[in-house]
Amino acid sequence: MSVLDCGAMTADLTWLLLQPGRSIKPRQQKESPAEWVDVPTHCVLVETPDGTLLWDTSCPADWEERWGPTGLNDFFPYDKVSDDEYLDKRLEQLGIGTDQIDYVVLSHLHFDHCGNANLFKDSPAKLVCSDKEKEFAFGFDGPFTGAHLKSDYENLNWETVSGDTEFLPGVTLLQTPGHTPGTMSMQVDLPDTGTMIFTSDAVYMGASYGPPPVPAAIVNNLESWFSSVEKIRDVAQKTNATVVFGHDADQIHELKTVSNGGHYT
């Protein structure tokens, strides 16, 4: 298994963490500037006897133009990325072509996770998301709502999963809604490393995880979000898992990634 670190967006921390005393300031600090932070993005390549899976597709190289109509380019600029950190370059560095990937599984269909899904339009890869995510992502009027941008995914063929699913040997997709109606996390059981859980945006960062959990500005359903965080915590405790958060600027540097030549077995 390889973690493909794909550079970082930057954003006001409040989008990620609604924490009094830090992102939410008391009156004594009301003149303090907003805290902007790195928002790293990553994908995961998992090779199993039954197929090769890519988890998420990160942000597109043409983000400024693509996101322009939504205004998200001003709130989440993908401005800390080098040419060799884009997804297609990361796959090249691993010697993996799009025709060698059997499944592209999207944790959800937001612009920073589904941004390169079209790379696989003419490949043999099956594109997969949860049934609840597909229903929402195709069910609204107009070209976008929030961080769902139809041009990222509407011209692709999607297969769906429902409920927690052992998708491939050692790879289980966990339904963890709240951030979006159909957000999923991925549990990978590795022979040597043990279990790792990739939360995607079900949990943005370590400070979100707690306990107690700290929500974010972008949450579709807060009650579902809290339930999903505790579901992840329960699975992690039962499996002694390493939990990898969706956008943790400190944790990404602690992982074995393509940029440092590491992988997990």
pTM (2 decimals)?
0.97
Show the tokens assigned to 120.
Answer: 């696989």
Q: What is the pLDDT of residue 36?
A: 97
Q: What is the pLDDT of residue 125?
A: 98
Which of 231, 177, 222 lies closest to 201 in space, CA to CA?
177
The maximal CA–CA distance of the chain, rounded, in angstroms, is: 58
CA gyration radius for the chain? 17
Name, in order, each residue with C-beta under 8 angstroms of 181's C-beta and a sequence gap of 6 or more. Answer: 132, 133, 135, 136, 220, 221
pLDDT at 112: 98
The answer to whether the beta carbons of residues 120 and 166 sit under 8 Å apart is: no
User: In this predicted structure, what is the pLDDT of residue 167?
Assistant: 98
Q: Which parts of the chain register pLDDT below 70?
A: none
Q: Are 216 and 208 in contact (CB under 8 A)?
A: yes
What is the residue type of 252? I
